[in-house]
Amino acid sequence: MLPPDRRVRNCQTAGSPAVSKVRENPNCSGVETLYPSTLDLYKERMKGYPEITVTDRGARAQRNFNQSAGKVKHVFLGRREDVAEGKRDFCHRARSATEGLIAVAKHWRGFGKSLYRGFTGDKIWSGLCQMAFNLHKLLKLYREEKIKEESLVKLGLA
């Protein structure tokens, strides 16, 4: 078994307005509260719950289905049977896209090599990596002039 400070290396969270994705590892400390706290954080930031929640099988637990009941319309916890047939392709694409983004971030920014210790340190490290990735993407779009004028005004760049 891994020492406690090494167990949380694979715990990751990310979200978007349409989809909330949680990736849990059963070896992570605090894993039993990661999914519910992520839903609560999403509600607080976005002023409502997501329509769809997509996770891998690591988050597949009855308590997570119970936590989502009445809040999230479609809950995909790593199995095709979790959602209606019409939503399966969307859920698989969303999960694949997020996994790809995590792989790029790990390679490009050293996302997998946290410089901080423990669960809190990994949360800080993942946030810093997400900000660096988003800033890189924003600057790329800005240089290629692919950002609408109204968005530039709101950002104070025009």
* Per-domain boundaries in the chain: 4-155
Give the pLDDT of residue 111.
65
In whole angstroms, give the CA distance from residue 76 to residue 29.
23
Q: What is the mean pLDDT of each run of 10 residues along the chain (158 residues)?
A: 35 40 47 75 92 82 88 87 88 83 72 76 80 87 91 85
Give the pLDDT of residue 110.
63
3-state secondary structure of 145: coil
Picking from 91, 62, 63, the residue whose alpha carbon sits closest to that of residue 76 is: 91
Picking from 33, 17, 16, the residue whose alpha carbon sits closest to that of residue 123 is: 33
Element (H, E) at 135: helix 118-143
Is 0.85 topped by the overall pTM? no
Give the pLDDT of residue 115.
78
